[in-house]
Amino acid sequence: MKGWLALVPLLILFFLVAIYQKDISYYLVEKIVYSKKIYLDKPNEYSLDYQFEYVQKTDDFIANNKQELINILYTALNNGSTNFYFYCDYNECINDVSILTDANELVNINNYVHPYNNYRKVFVTYNSFNKVQINIEKSYNDNIITSIDKKIEEIMNDILTEDMSDKEKIIAIHNYIVETTDYDTEYLEANLQDIDNPSHKAIGPLYYHKALCGGYTDAMSLFLNKLKIPNYRISSENHIWNYVYVDNNWYHLDLTWDDPVTDDGSNLVLDNFLLITTEQLKKYHTGYHNYDKSIYPEAG
């Protein structure tokens, strides 16, 4: 009889396990296999420490709302991570992940990141435990970075002096890039759709002396970051340019529009878009500078 009594607790335990098997399995997987203790790689040498309104760095990788999700994506990109994961903890999170990692949306977060940490492609997967895995393919590889950095150092040594103010340095770099670069009309005329074309990146203006708006903007951003001048890039539907914090104010800086294509092929260097306010920018009515001020609030 005593033997049967000793088995009763075991039978009850087996009975409970059979009834709550799914709940127990879910608990074990969630708490042990998919532990939510997340450690992101340390920031690389291109991680920026500027303070912005739209995005902020975070050490919490469980997203409870859309802003926290934006901050997680920004932190990972800004750190230079190539793969990372985080968890969603609100109902619309997975849907927001799909929207924010779309190429047309993620570029807005990407614009706050050093060009060398920019993504080329992003791959997203997630599971039933709301774990989101992000893999990033970067725009610039190590060989290109080495070549560009060497060129930037040469240019800075040639055109900048220690007694220049930050604004004078920006003007000198603006003039150098515009004078030595032509807008890549051949790319547009050929109707190319090549995201790896040099004209989209800093190597275009610095080595090939041809660029599209992305090339002008990345090149300028690299110089600004070398000088530790706070900046980010602003995207509209069909254009991108720099936004710079200098002398305690934010200014627009658009090298593309200061390097116009002329009928006779002459090389003009304009300063219409050289460190101008948002009010000045509005007066030009270009149709290319309409941007979402909730994403770029400093320029609102």
Task: Please state the domain count of the chain.
Answer: 2
Weakest mean pLDDT among 1-5, 113-117, 225-229, 257-261: 1-5
Q: What rounded mean pLDDT belongs to the chain?
A: 89
How do residues 103-129 score in pLDDT, each as one tens digit? 888 999 999 999 999 999 999 999 988
Burial of 50 from C-beta contacts in 10 A (0-12 / 13-18 / 19+): middle
Give the end of a domain, one of 75, 107, 138.
138
pLDDT (average), residues 48-66 = 95
Same domain, 232 and 291: yes
Same domain, 217 and 253: yes
Give the end of a domain, one of 92, 121, 138.
138
Same domain, 281 and 148: yes
pLDDT band at 144 (very low <50, low <70, confident <90, very high): very high
Same domain, 278 and 160: yes
Q: Is the pLDDT of residue 59 over 60?
A: yes
Same domain, 133 and 225: no
The answer to the question of residue 289 being in a domain is: yes
Same domain, 154 and 257: yes
pLDDT (average), residues 40-53 = 92
- With contact defined as beta carbons under 8 Å apart, do 268 and 229 qualify? no
pLDDT (average), residues 161-169 = 97
SS3 sequence, the chain? CHHHHHHHHHHHHHHHHHHCHHHHHHHHHHHHHCCCCCCCCCCCCCCCCCCCCCCCCCCCCEECCHHHHHHHHHHHHHHCCCEEEEEECCCCHHHHHHHHCCHHHHHHHHCCCCHHHCEEEEEEEECCCCEEEEEEEECCCHHHHHHHHHHHHHHHHHHCCCCCCHHHHHHHHHHHHHHHCEECHHHHHCCCCCCCCHHHCCHHHHHHCEECHHHHHHHHHHHHHHCCCCEEEEECCCCEEEEEEECCEEEEECCCCCCCCCCCCCCCCCCCCEEECHHHHHHHCCCCCCCCCCCCHHHC
Q: Residue 284's Cα: distance from chain center in Å?
A: 28
- Between CA 12 and CA 77 the distance in angstroms is 51
- Could you tell me how many residues make up the chain? 300
pLDDT (average), residues 234-260 = 97
pLDDT band at 170 (very low <50, low <70, confident <90, very high): very high
Domain residues for the domain of 205 are 142-299
Give the end of a domain, one of 138, 171, 189.
138
pLDDT (average), residues 234-259 = 97
Q: Is the pLDDT of residue 32 over 80?
A: no
Same domain, 182 and 253: yes
Same domain, 166 and 262: yes
How do residues 180-198 score in pLDDT, each as one tens digit? 999 999 998 888 889 899 9
Give the range with max mean pLDDT: 50-54, 186-190, 263-267. Answer: 50-54
Q: Is the pLDDT of residue 33 over 50?
A: no
Same domain, 157 and 262: yes
Weakest mean pLDDT among 38-42, 67-71, 99-103, 296-300: 38-42
- Between CA 118 and CA 221 the distance in angstroms is 12
Same domain, 134 and 146: no
Rounded percentage of the chain residues whose pLDDT exceeds 90: 78
Same domain, 241 and 146: yes
Give the CATH number for residue 175.
Answer: 3.10.620
